[in-house]
Amino acid sequence: MRRVTLTQFLIEQQRAGRISADLRLLIEVVARAVKAISVNVSKGALAGVLGEAGTDNVQGEAQKKLDVIANEILLQANEWGGHLAAMASEEVEEVHHIPFDYPKGGYLLLFDPLDGSSNIDVNISVGTIFSVLRNPPGSGEPSEQSFLQPGHQQVAAGYALYGPSTQFILTVGKGVHGFTLDREMGSFVYTHPYMSIPADTSEYAINASNIRHWEAPVRRYVEELQQGKEGPRERDFNMRWVASMVADVHRILTRGGVFMYPLDEKCRKQGGKLRLMYEANPMAMIVEQAGGAASTGRERILDLQPHKLHQRVPVVLGSLNEVERVVAYHREP
């Protein structure tokens, strides 16, 4: 059986007119950076990369050593290729400009270098999330404003999952495609074509320890699931929670489910828990391209107009019918 690599897949997408040559090369550079991050993650204590870095990121959160390493790998890999006008990282407050002695391209790259990094020291799956936008024409040197585009304007989005195998999940607006790293060959192989999320599910993912902070619609929804066959849903549901968005979303992409980090009293002042530009938008694009839905509970995530680079939002995404039920509960008085 012929094995198609990520490079071959991207060339075919370019030939079909779905992506430009520059976007193809940009995605390949991100994939190469993912391989380097995967090596560091897999070595763990052997490479001395576990534990705290002794610094805080722009969110005021303590950084892990691998947060810093992954961020530097992505920045350095993407600086010199000539495909980007600028980058933005969840770990850094300001826009990262391309050094003056490197050529510049027409795209903007945003990324969460290591999602779920609180799980690193206990050897649970973590990941990398990325999003690609076009640099607005005639805008000159990119600024924060250049990045503040609604999610439906993304030209590509994806994530890498560093688990028992390293997987690279990608959409360029024509379905969702999965690739698995062949470590001996050093290449990503096309293993999961046109990934699809079932409209119905019996699994949900939420941090149940926050139940006392939830709004009434979320509390109502989860309580109905917990009542199982004896409740209004008339069937049993299972709860899954990894505390790594990449791992939870990948499970949903593989077998269905709903993931929720809703607005609650703990994060209300911040507007939500997850970052719109680095987590919610790219994951919403992937989920919708796989036939699912993504909402704040009140509105479609991809329609939100960002107002700052590190904006936070509530997130409800996954199987279509479950997301629509949560949204319907929010609309009721």
Q: If pLDDT is split at 50, 70 and 90, which confidence band does 49 have?
A: low
Distance CA 88, CA 97 (A): 9
Q: Alpha helices, DSSP H only, in the chain?
A: 6-15, 21-43, 65-79, 144-147, 216-227, 245-255, 281-289, 320-331
Tokens of 228: 């199982």
Identify the CA nearest to 92 among candidates 74, 71, 76, 108. Answer: 71
Give the pLDDT score at 46.
Answer: 77
Domains of the chain: 6-192 (3.30.540.10), 203-331 (3.40.190.80)
Rg (CA), the chain: 19
For residue 100, what are its two tokens? 């003056």
CB 77 within 8 A of CB 35: no
Single-letter residue type at 132 = V
Helix axes 320-331, 216-227, angle to 10 degrees: 130
Any known ligand binding at 257? Answer: no
74 marked ligand binding residue: no
CA distances, 66 to each of 142, 181, 218 (Å): 28, 20, 34
Beta bridge partners of 196: none
Across the chain, which distance is largest between two alpha carbons, in Å? 66
The yes-or-no verdict on residue 51 having pLDDT over 70 is: no
The CA distance from 84 to 120, in Å, is 30
207 annotated as belonging to a binding site for a ligand: yes
Which residues are CB-neighbours of 32 under 8 A, at least 6 positions away?
Answer: 77
pLDDT digits (tens, 9 = 90+) for 240-278: 999 899 999 999 999 999 999 999 999 999 999 999 999
Q: What is the distance between the alpha carbons of residues 303 and 295, in angstroms, rounded to a whole number?
A: 9
Burial of 157 (0-12, 13-18, 19+ CB in 10 A): buried
Average pLDDT over residues 56-70: 72
Answer yes or no: is 279 a known binding residue: yes
Residue 236 assigned as binding residue? no
Helix/strand/coil (H, E, C) string of 177-190? EEEEEECCCCEEEE
Q: What is the pLDDT of residues 14-45, one digit of tens each?
A: 999 999 999 999 999 999 999 999 998 888 77
Percent of the residues in the chain that have a pLDDT greater than 70, as a whole number = 95
Local confidence band at 129 (pLDDT 50, 70, 90 cut-offs): very high
User: Residue 311's pLDDT band (boundaries 50, 70, 90)?
Assistant: very high
Residues 138-144: contacts with CB under 8 Å, at least 24 apart: 141/97, 142/85, 142/86, 142/95, 142/97, 142/108, 143/95, 144/88, 144/94, 144/95, 144/308, 144/309
Annotated ligand binding at 273? The verdict is: yes
Q: Do 308 and 187 meet the contact criterion of CB atoms below 8 Å apart?
A: no
What distance in Å separates the CA atoms of residue 184 and residue 194, rounded to the nearest whole number?
25
Residues in the chain: 333
Structure-token match 């094995």, residue found: 3
The CB-side HSE value for 28 (13 A sphere, CA atoms) comes to 21
d(CA 207, CA 253) in angstroms, rounded, equals 19
pTM of the model: 0.94
Flag whether 184 is marked binding: no
- For the four alpha carbons of 162, 197, 283 and 106, in that order, the dihedral sign comes to positive
- CA dihedral in degrees (193, 194, 200, 203; nearest 10)? 50
Q: Which amino acid is at 82?
A: G
The token duo for 299 is 């509105």
* 234 vs 54: which has the higher pLDDT: 234
Distance CA 248, CA 125 (A): 10
Question: Does the annotation list 318 as a binding residue?
Answer: no
